[in-house]
Amino acid sequence: MHFTSEQRLDDDVIEREFTLGEIPGILWTPAAASAAAPARLVLLGHPPLGLGRMYPRLAARARYCAAQGLATATIELPGSGDRPRLAAVDQARADLRRAMEAGEPVGDEIIDALILPLVDAAVPEWQTALDALLALPEIEGPVGYSGGVISIGVRLALVEPRIAAAVLFAGSFVPRAMVEEARRVTIPLHVLLQWDDEGNDRQASLDLFDAFGSKEKSLHANMGGHTGVPQSEGEAASRFLTRHLS
């Protein structure tokens, strides 16, 4: 892990860009975090649109977490930004677009091809990032995960024991195989669903929520479209993480 830049946001958040091998990432820490008083970490998930395009929303979430004493970090997804494309995923995305433009139902094969290779490639990278981040003296576990491609969150919640709680955004296609993985997830979950998100399969989201094996799970559904999560819900999600990481 190599830090490539450092700047202060406002007065109390330090933003550092880094590379982890070929993977770019960003770490935000409360300025008050130190080896003597390390901050708990939240991994910020995001859709595969590239860190550059996602930066404003990620930085806003990072600032919000920092105000509650939490560090946050994110890495570029495989196939996004300046990273090498994932040919199979690109193909699936083209198939998806064709199906949607033709008004056809989106078949399970397309969803599997779109999501599963991304999950398989991304999850080990987030785990490697976690190794590197938790080696920093100003950061400690347990760790939270928040947002982004929900199947990546589900897989991480299942396979990564350092993740103690997750905020999941039910706003992307979910392969059927992930529902089976969801049954084996047991950590506390806070699931956000935009009820009137036209690009989302609401019933699939409800089925996924139902499937989670976690004894503590909440679903917060709101109006306002895909990107319209109300501010009060951002705050509730952040309180959920603070409660479970402190």
Residues near a copy of itself, by CB under 8 A: 195, 206, 209-210, 214-223, 230, 232-233, 236, 239-240, 243
CB atoms near residue 176 (< 10 Å): 11
Q: How far is the CB of 143 from a copy of itself (least distance, A)?
A: 20
Residues 102, 231: Cα–Cα separation, whole Å: 36
Helical H segments across 9-50, by residue range: none
What are the residues facing 28 on neighbouring strands? 15, 72
> What minimum distance in Å lies between the beta carbon of 196 and a copy of itself?
9
Comparison of 53 and 243: residue with beta carbon closer to a copy of itself: 243
117 vs 225, beta carbon nearer a copy of itself: 225
Q: Is 85 or 239 the residue whose CB approaches a copy of itself more closely? A: 239
Whole-number minimum distance, CB 151 to a copy of itself, in Å? 21
Find the DSSP H helices in 28-149: 51-67, 87-101, 108-134
Contact 142, 39 (CB under 8 A): no
Based on its alpha-carbon atoms, the radius of gyration of the chain, rounded to whole angstroms, reads: 17
Minimum Å gap between C-beta 42 and a copy of itself is 18
Would you give the DSSP letter of residue 84?
P
From the CB of 152, what's the least distance to a copy of itself, in Å? 23
Q: Nearer to a copy of itself by C-beta: 104 or 216?
A: 216
Contact 70, 146 (CB under 8 A): no
Q: Shortest gap between Cβ of 120 and a copy of itself (angstroms)?
A: 30
Whole-number Å distance between alpha carbons of 113 and 96? 10
- Give 136 or 191: the residue with its C-beta nearer to a copy of itself: 191
> DSSP assignment, residue 215?
S
Spell out the residues 6+ positions from residue 30 whose beta carbon is closer than 8 angstroms to its own: 12, 13, 14, 39, 66, 69, 70, 71
Structure tokens, 28: 């935000």
In the complex, minimum distance from the CB of residue 105 to a copy of itself, in angstroms, rounded to a whole number? 21
